[in-house]
Amino acid sequence: MHYKELKAAWAELTAPGAPFEIETIKVRGNEIRSYKNAPPTVRAIWLSTAAYGEREYIVYQDERMTYAQAHRDVAAIAAWLTAQGVKRGDRVAIAMRNYPEWMLIYWACVSVGVAVVGMNAWWVTEEMEYALNDSAPKVVFADAERLARILERPEMAGGAKLVGVRCESLPEWVVPYADVVKDGGALPDVAVDPDADACIFYTSGTTGFPKGAQLTHRGCVSNLFNMMFSGQVQGLATMRATGIDPASVPAPPIPASLLTTPLFHVTANNCGAYATTAGGGKMVLMYRWDAGEALKLIEREKITAMSGVPVMSRELLTHPDFGKYDLSSLASLGGGGAQLQPDLVAKIDTEVKTARPNTGYGMTETCGIITSVSADFFVDKPASCGPAMPSFEVKCVDDDGNAVPQGQIGELWVKGAPVIKGYINRPEATAESITDGWLHTGDVARIDEDGFIFIVDRKKDMVLRGGENVYCAEVEATIHHHPAVAECCVFGVPDPRLGEEVGVAVVLRPGQTLTADEVRDHCAAHISKHKVPRYVWFLDESIPRNASGKFLKRHLRDTLKPEAAA
């Protein structure tokens, strides 16, 4: 493969005076790598897209919106927020599925220095209440389903003003979204600090409570530049290795992206939406994921890139109608949120003639991607998630935090501009996760001689179900609240579609009875449905433990068979 050319192209694009020149700056007391030519804030990125005017920007079902229309509504939302007394440094929550309004509210907030709180649309009432109390937003924009949950306990909103989006009827004290945008207005001229929070995205916590990660403007912009760099460096290396003059290659078509994952995650928002918007492209949103509908949209909207969790690409390729649609516009197919299995990399490369496989490995805590790999480099190393992007330093460390030699396995630590500021209201969690600017990813990895990273295992106690992190401790805490349960242990069960499903071994109190469905119903009342165990085993004896008293989860995985679950 063309690793020599990749190294040369990398050095050329990041050199002094080059578009992706890297500089070392001091942020929060730590020296970090950052892009010298990056815009200072997300506001600057949004303002730059006004030049795209009448280009189509957002498509949702039969609705279509141009950049000019989006800028009009974004300015109106920002002006309305300012009139309500929402000021720089405040927070605004968005609790809705992937409607066009999600993105318009997001751009309006970040353009005036207001941090967006991304509310997980899967959360039940208790989870929403926790996040609203934790983040204390001044305004909450909610669709009908999420608003109904808030209205179950109106006090959870605190003093926040509620705005109903796409709601047929509203209490008189809830503002209709139409009233927010009806009077228009100019985008307020606000100076935004590059190291201010752009958004608060919640990531599940090992203590059972989600943590609000503080993604800064600098971090979000750096992630965008990482994505732009990845496409350019691998393309340039491949062209030079195959003798193609880059100057002779025609400009690519205007991007058209199918966003398949929730906008309250960095995968869809920071990676999908940012990249498409900055490039003047078209974003196509779905009400919910459906492979058959995705095939129709790819053909109808001439989609050039679809990114989601790996199961989505797999379901697209195996759909019975796969051969009935024209997918020739697709240039890229893949995703993140979980490892793309090597067989899927090969299937994408062979079954979609125009599309090349791609993936990125990242975290909420890095505002998006840490690594990225595509095309020939991915096909050549399908088990790798690619090299770390230029704005990162990376190392694998042992249990004492000491770097291990190249090629050896250790926990992956990363440092750079995209690393979050910390977790709101959680100084202890911040201190545990970030050491002198180095983020502990919780993933065990090795780095090969070409700088490509291979994720080997997870150090965290977590199930990765269809790209959603499910922390075992949270599910265990919920199940332990049931009076019939003496002890329980939650772990991941391999699943060909979702990567992993949630499984739990349960020991009941003497004289108590409980069914698997009763366990699930109990969980569903307190946690999101994707966290509810699919597999439930009832054990007659105590769960096996090691010498330090920890459950032997690997032993349970190996001995408890899915077909034997209750």
- For 60-98, give the DSSP string: ETTEEEEHHHHHHHHHHHHHHHHHTT--TT-EEEEESSS
Concatenating the DSSP letter of every residue in 179-228 gives HHHTT--PPP-----TTSEEEEEEE--TTSS-EEEEEEHHHHHHHHHHHH
Task: Measure the CA–CA gap between 517 and 477, rounded to whole angstroms.
Answer: 18
Residue 208 scores a pLDDT above 70: no
* CA triple 548-553-557, angle to 5 deg: 155
Q: How confident is the model at residue 467 (pLDDT cuts 50, 70, 90)?
A: confident
Q: Tokens 């935090």 correspond to what residue?
A: 401
- pLDDT of residue 549 exceeding 70, the answer is no
Instruction: Encode pLDDT of 403-450 as tens digits.
Output: 999 999 999 999 999 999 999 999 999 999 999 999 999 998 999 999
Beta pairing class for 161-165 and 175-176: parallel
123 DSSP assignment: -
Q: What residues are paired with 388 via a beta bridge?
A: 371
Q: Under 8 Å CB-to-CB from 63, ≥6 apart: which residues?
A: 100
For 157-182, write each residue's pLDDT tens digit.
Answer: 999 999 999 999 999 999 999 999 99
Which of the two residues, 250 and 366, has the higher pLDDT score?
366
**Strand 535-538 vs strand 499-508: parallel, antiparallel, or unpaired?**
parallel
What is the rounded distance in angstroms from the CA atom of residue 298 to the CA atom of residue 326? 8
Question: What's the mean per-residue pLDDT of the chain?
Answer: 94
Is this structure's pTM higher than 0.75? yes
More confident residue, 557 or 205: 557
Q: Is residue 546 predicted with pLDDT exceeding 90? A: no
Kindly indicate the confidence band of residue 141, based on its pLDDT and cuts at 50, 70 and 90.
Answer: very high
Secondary structure percentages of the chain, helix, strand, coil, to 5? 35, 30, 35
Kindly indicate the confidence band of residue 469, based on its pLDDT and cuts at 50, 70 and 90.
confident
Burial 311-336 (b: 16+ CB within 10 A, else e): bbbbbbbebeebeebebebbbbbbbb
Alpha-carbon distance 223 to 508, whole Å?
Answer: 48
